[in-house]
């Protein structure tokens, strides 16, 4: 059951009114929105918090990279730089943000741009030399950035906090009223339990789709083997290889840590879980807490396990104790489509790209 702070309802009303006015200004073209000559696929949500955008962006990158030149454009949340940047493997989280750092470490050859002004970011990407210029752009968390009109909008909603059970900020977590979902083409219910039955999907389908043109998909989290953050110091191991006498310290600084901790604790008898606020810097205070807990663990065989996003920030962190490098592991995640719907989703994305390209070509010829 989602808990709401109803005492904040007057503020939610004012917030919702402001959002409604802004959207109507865009709908009536009183505020400018720009469409671009390449497919722009937006992956976003209407709720604050973690819905699994990064794993779904990664899925699309894996789908598209072998087929075309794809770029990802992210705002670089909480970065300490400004303006337009192109990321590379030497970039830091301070320069590009946490999620982009995770992406560039996974996909070193990915064209990854950072710009809070999405319209400017796309213009700069399309101004690159032809050899670099993207053929498809993935817009990370851009559903509310209405100055860009995407060619396709994908909305994610967490199964445990589906948007139709939520309320507007600050009472709930919704950034926009659910009526604004008419702009979405695809809705994905993410982080679905693996035990869902066909009747559950039918019920979800009647609840989740608000508009006839929308396609509905369901995904679940797929976990890989534990991988050492520093591969030269240790080897991968399955969750089943966690020994009964091993102490595990699980830590994260993500918006929704529960699936991560539940997955590990389901295989470990002795585990301590520490959750820091999303995007915590892993500075002196955080390391002091972690070191105190880790040193207090009695077993000589003890491990630290974290998330991919957090691991990306720890690799070059000068505060990371050297003795932890051989004990620090990451739990990789990917998304898996439920009900054997992956081919249908892939086909939908690829067909959209092909159709959009043909439309642009015909428009240029006319």
**pLDDT for 124-134, tens place per residue?**
999 999 999 99
According to the model, what pLDDT value does residue 73 have? 99
Give the tens place of pLDDT for each residue, 283-296.
999 999 999 999 99
Long-range (24+ apart) CB contacts under 8 A made by 102-107 are 102/54, 102/308, 102/309, 102/312, 103/54, 103/57, 103/58, 103/61, 103/72, 103/74, 105/312, 105/315, 106/58, 106/308, 107/58, 107/61, 107/65
Helix (H/G/I), strand (E/B), else coil: 264: helix
According to the model, what pLDDT value does residue 57 have? 98
CA 359 to chain centre: 30
According to the model, what pLDDT value does residue 275 have? 95
With residue 9 as reference, give the H or E element that holds it: helix 9-27
Domain ranges of the chain: 31-223+337-358, 227-331
According to the model, what pLDDT value does residue 366 have? 66
What gap in Å lies between CA 17 and CA 252, rounded to an integer?
A: 36
- 55 and 153 in contact (C-beta within 8 Å)? no
According to the model, what pLDDT value does residue 245 have? 86
According to the model, what pLDDT value does residue 51 have? 86
Indicate the CATH number for domain 31-223+337-358. Answer: 3.40.50.300
Q: Which residues of the chain have pLDDT under 70?
A: 1, 209, 366
According to the model, what pLDDT value does residue 128 have? 98
């Amino acid at each position: 059951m989602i808990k709401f702070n109803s005492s904040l309802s007057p503020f939610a009303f004012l917030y919702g009114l402001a959002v409604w006015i802004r959207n109507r200004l865009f709908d009536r073209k009183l505020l400018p929105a720009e469409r671009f000559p390449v497919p722009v696929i937006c992956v976003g949500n209407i709720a604050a918090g973690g819905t699994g955008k990064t794993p779904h962006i990664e899925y699309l990158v894996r789908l598209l990279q072998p087929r075309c030149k794809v770029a990802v454009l992210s705002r670089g949340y909480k970065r300490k730089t400004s303006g337009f940047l192109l990321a590379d493997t030497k970039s830091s989280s301070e320069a590009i943000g946490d999620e982009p750092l995770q992406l560039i470490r996974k996909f070193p050859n990915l064209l990854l741009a950072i710009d809070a002004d999405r319209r400017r970011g796309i213009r700069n990407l399309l101004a690159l030399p032809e050899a670099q210029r993207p053929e498809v752009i993935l817009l990370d968390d851009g559903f509310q950035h209405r100055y860009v009109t995407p060619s396709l909008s994908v909305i994610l909603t967490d199964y445990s906090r589906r948007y139709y059970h939520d309320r507007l900020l600050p009472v709930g977590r919704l950034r926009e009223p659910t009526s604004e979902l008419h702009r979405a083409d695809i809705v994905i219910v993410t982080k679905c339990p693996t035990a869902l039955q066909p009747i559950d999907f039918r019920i979800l389908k009647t609840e989740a789709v608000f508009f006839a043109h929308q396609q509905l998909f369901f995904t679940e989290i797929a976990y890989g083997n534990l991988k050492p953050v520093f591969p030269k110091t240790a080897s991968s191991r399955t969750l089943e290889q966690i020994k009964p006498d091993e102490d595990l310290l699980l830590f994260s600084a993500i918006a929704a840590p529960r699936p991560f901790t539940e997955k590990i604790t389901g295989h470990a008898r002795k585990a301590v879980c520490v959750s820091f606020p999303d995007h915590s810097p892993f500075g002196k205070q955080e390391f002091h807490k972690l070191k105190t807990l880790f040193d207090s663990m009695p077993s000589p065989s003890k491990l630290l396990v974290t998330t991919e996003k957090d691991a990306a920030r720890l690799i070059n962190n000068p505060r990371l104790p050297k003795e932890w490098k051989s004990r620090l592991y990451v739990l990789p995640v990917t998304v898996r489509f439920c009900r054997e719907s992956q081919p249908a989703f892939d086909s939908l994305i690829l067909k959209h790209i092909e159709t959009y390209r043909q439309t642009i070509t015909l428009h240029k010829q006319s």
